[in-house]
Amino acid sequence: MKQSKMLIHTLREVPRDAEVISQQLMMRAGMIQKLAAGIYDYLPLAFRSIRKFEQIVREELAKDGCQELLMPTVQPSELWQESGRWSFYGKELLRFKDRKDAAFCLGPTHEEVITDIVRRNVSSYKQLPMNLFQIQTKFRDEIRPRFGLMRGREFIMKDAYSFDVDDAAADKSYWAMFNAYTRIFARLGVKFRHVEADSGAIGGSFTHEFHVLAGSGEDAILSCDACDYASNLEKTEAPRIPAVDHGPAMALKPAHFKTPGITAMADQARAFKDAEHDGLPLHQTSKVYWMDADIVVGKDADGHVTRRLAVAVVLRGDHEMNLVKVKNSLGAVDLQPMADAEDFTGALSGFLGPVPREGTRLWDLGRTDPEGLVYLVDKALEGASNLTCGANETDGHHFGFDPARDLPGARFLDLRLAQEGDLCPRCGKGHYQAFRGIEVGQVFKLGTKYSKSMNCNYLDEHGKENPMVMGCYGIGIGRTVAAAIEQNFDADGIIWPWPIAPYQVHLLDLDPGNAMVREVAERMERELEAAGFEVLHDDREGLSPGAKFKDADLLGFPLRAMVGSRGLKEGLVELRDRRTKEVVKFKPEDVVAQVTAARDRMMGELAIQGGR
Ligand code: ATP
Ligand code: MG
């Protein structure tokens, strides 16, 4: 392919709104451009990488007998009402009406449509297991689309769905897909790892995420340095730690410590002084997060009826709340910090506490609807007493707080964020190490959530009807390609891993005006292509070699072949490795052998580093 004819417009400057490196480099390399927030054009270079990654995905899924189909992007609301998600799925679901006033949405995922397809076409146990996938454009009206292809509103996803006769068979499908993902990301040549994860809005019984490891990743991962446990921080189990003994329990002493204007926990701990105390350890302090939680309490014609609860989440002063754990422990469909917490408790933020004070809305709610008030206390405070807590009175803190005694109906649960260095609760030997990752894929065991609500049943060998047991499996195609760049770049540009490079060889004609140079370059292009290599031939006239080198570095194909009049005088051309910058000189007729050897070396290195 001649570069002079290709749609590539490189930029010298970093586009102003490009926040992360993959986005900057893909925009500068003329691979993508923004059409609207979170919506990008995939220009030819990007599309080549995307197609290559899709091909890897297709090949690996085919090995497990997964069949490809294509479902519509536009989905009727009726299906979503059947599954119950029309009212559950938040604003990310873009809903609209057609000219006949019928409601539709743009598919953010396809559980409903695939379940409908299978219930209409599969009825016997003899047809199961069934595993179907598509590679298709999804739309999620993300609140803050960002980072280019990493968090778009419109993006390409591979989504697969498995249908089985029972749990054991569904587990087999799950692990087959898990293994296929491992092969897919290893073939890509990126460093990745799988982690246990939260099942989120899709629901389901268990799930793993696959992360490409990169400092810019949005997800925090903790993994044990002694056993196999690795998990998304959202889900990571915090080790059980016994409550610290702070002496015989005392009565609650309201507003005992005066702490004017002091809100930071560490400052408070120092400020807790009285006749017996000269400052307190942080682990003797507590803090509360007042939250609004929406819980489903019934069903009506429009979907679900929810009830709003006021939730106090109480933690040790030196621990942080894990929102996902709190949300899951309540089974809440929505959980938000209480916007009017100051009004509710009667104190300014920094002095909020869990214990109601007379004359406040918190006190009123506790008396009129104690069930509307929920106390969740982190396990690390089980059995603790003599703690401090906010007094719900500006500039004051209580002392002698005992959560089990002072909070009616308090439940003690694991609610905190685990931390790097925590003892691993799984093996009890190792400690957590922290990583950052980009979630590129996820496998879910769904169970019968959709098959039951949508009547996707099969007849077993005794003629009895049973719901199918499902799994669903996603890979973000564009996000993965971007994540590969996040792991493979330098100051000059992208360094493509061979398997998804838009082209493998960038052939630079450094002297297009010279007939001999042009002839040799043309011949090398033909020979490489005949040998099956993908070549972009920079035949552009009127550009200095330096300008061509800069572009080639930015585009970052694994190999750069260079033909110039100076080298040809000695009968030599050059091949440069984008990653190591090593250059070899050889006769033009050896180009296929040289490129083949370089490819084999690079693929060998990928095989070693692939995986973790
Ligand atoms: P996230 O937590 O990052 O929002 P998710 O868990 O909601 O993602 P899934 O429903 O698991 O996403 O979708 C499967 C895959 O699709 C993800 O693993 C990710 O690679 C990709 N993906 C999800 N949302 C986006 C997006 N907004 N832009 C690009 N890719 C996405
Ligand atoms: Mg996910």
Distance between CA 494 and CA 45 in Å, rounded? 13
How many residues does the structure list for the chain?
A: 612
Torsion of CA 28, 29, 33, 38, to 10 degrees: -80
Q: What percent of the chain has pLDDT over 70?
A: 98
CA separation for the pair 477, 608 (Å, rounded): 23
Residue 271: CB atoms within 10 A of its CB come to 18
3-state secondary structure of 32: strand
For ligand 1, the distance from its centroid to the CA atom of residue 84, given in whole angstroms, is 21
Q: Is the CB of 140 under 6 A from ligand 1?
A: yes
DSSP 251: -
Q: Which ligand 1 atom lies nearest to the CA of residue 145?
A: 27
The residues whose Cβ lies within 5 A of ligand 2, an ion, are 442
Cα–Cα distance measured from residue 85 to residue 280, given in angstroms and rounded to the nearest whole number: 49
With 60 as the cut, is the pLDDT of residue 58 above it?
Answer: yes
Residue 612 pLDDT > 80: no
Question: What number does the ligand 1 atom closest to the CA of 441 have?
Answer: 18
Span from the CA of 214 to the centroid of ligand 2 (angstroms): 17
Q: Which residue has the tokens 């982190």?
A: 378
| Single-letter residue type at 534 | E
Residue 568 DSSP code: H
Q: What is the pLDDT of residues 3-51, one digit of tens each?
A: 999 999 999 899 988 999 999 999 999 999 999 999 999 999 999 999 9
Average pLDDT, the chain: 94
Measured between alpha carbons, how far is 576 from 578 in angstroms, rounded to an integer? 6
Burial class (CB in 10 A: 0-12, 13-18, 19+), 493: buried
Q: What is the pTM of this model?
A: 0.90
Contact of 386 with 250, CB cutoff 8 Å: yes
Please name the residues in contact with 152: beta carbons below 8 A apart, sequence gap of 6 or more.
Answer: 38, 39, 40, 142, 145, 478
Identify the burial level of 183 via C-beta atoms within 10 angstroms of its C-beta, where 0-12 means exposed, 13-18 middle and 19 or more buried: middle
Which tens digits make up the pLDDT trace of 468-493? Answer: 999 999 999 999 999 999 999 999 99
Question: Given pLDDT bands bounded at 50, 70 and 90, which one contains residue 598?
Answer: very high
Question: Ligand 1 within 6 A of 354 CB?
Answer: no
Q: Are 131 and 170 in contact (CB under 8 A)?
A: no
Q: How far apart are CA 71 and CA 135, in angstroms?
A: 9
Q: Residue 300: CB partners within 8 Å, gap ≥ 6?
A: none
Whether residue 324 contacts residue 234, with contact meaning beta carbons closer than 8 Å, is answered with yes
Residue 381 is encoded by which pair of tokens? 């405070």
Mean pLDDT for 452-472 is: 97
CB distance 441 to ligand 1 below 6 Å? yes
- Torsional sign, CA 432, 434, 435, 437: positive
In short, whether 483's Cβ falls inside 6 Å of ligand 1 is no
CB-ligand 1 contact for 332 (6 Å cutoff): no
Cis peptide before 239 (omega within 30 of 0): no
The predicted-structure confidence for 369-424, as pLDDT tens digits, reads as follows: 999 999 999 999 999 999 999 999 999 999 999 999 999 999 999 999 999 999 99
Cβ atoms < 10 Å from Cβ of 612: 13
Ligand 2: distance of its center to the CA of 323 in Å? 16
Q: Ligand 1 atom 27: the closest Cα is on which residue?
A: 151
CA 232 to centroid of ligand 1, rounded, Å? 14
Instruction: Identify which ligand lies nearest to the alpha carbon of 140.
Output: 1
Nearest CA to ligand 1 atom 31: 476
The crossing angle, in degrees rounded to 10, of helices 515-530 and 591-609 is 50
CA separation for the pair 496, 559 (Å, rounded): 10
Q: Is 551 left (phi over 0), alpha (psi -120 to 50) or beta?
A: alpha
Amino acid at 340: D
Tell which atom from ligand 1 comes closest to the C-alpha of 140. 27
Q: Alpha-carbon Rg of the chain, whole angstroms?
A: 30
85 in ligand 1 pocket by Cβ < 6 Å?
A: no
DSSP H or E stretch at residue 55: helix 44-62
Distance CA 311, CA 417 (A): 18
Distance CA 557, CA 499 (A): 11
Counting ligands in written order, which one lies closest to the CA of residue 202? Answer: 1
Please tell me if the CB atom of residue 479 comes closer than 6 angstroms to any atom of ligand 1.
yes
Q: Is 157 in the pocket of ligand 1 (CB under 6 A)?
A: yes
Ligand 1 test: best mutation among 212, 479, 480, most atoms within 8 Å of CB? Answer: 479
Of 283-292, 301-310, 504-513, 594-603, least confident by mean pLDDT is 301-310
Q: Could you give the angle at which helices 477-487 and 167-188 cross, rounded to 10 degrees?
A: 40
Centre of ligand 1 from the C-alpha of residue 442, in Å: 8
Say which residues have a Cβ less than 8 Å from residue 611's Cβ, sequence separation at least 6: 182, 185, 186, 191, 192, 193
CA atoms within 13 A on the CB side of 569: 3
Query: Residues 158, 135: contact at Cβ < 8 Å?
Result: yes
Cβ neighbours, 10 Å, residue 258:
14
Which residue has the least CA distance to atom 19 on ligand 1? 476
Instruction: For residue 95, name the pLDDT band (cuts at 50, 70, 90).
Output: very high
Measured from the alpha carbon of residue 152, the closest ligand is 1
Number of CB atoms found within 10 A of residue 136's CB: 17
SS3 586: strand
Directed axis angle between helix 477-487 and helix 21-28, to 10°?
Answer: 100
Tokens of 374: 């929920």
Note the ligand closest to the C-alpha atom of 158.
1
Higher pLDDT, 366 or 45: 45
Residue with tokens 């006239």: 541
* Interval 419-455: pLDDT, tens: 999 999 999 999 999 999 999 999 999 999 999 999 9
CB of 474 closer than 6 A to ligand 1?
yes
Structure tokens at 59: 């090949």
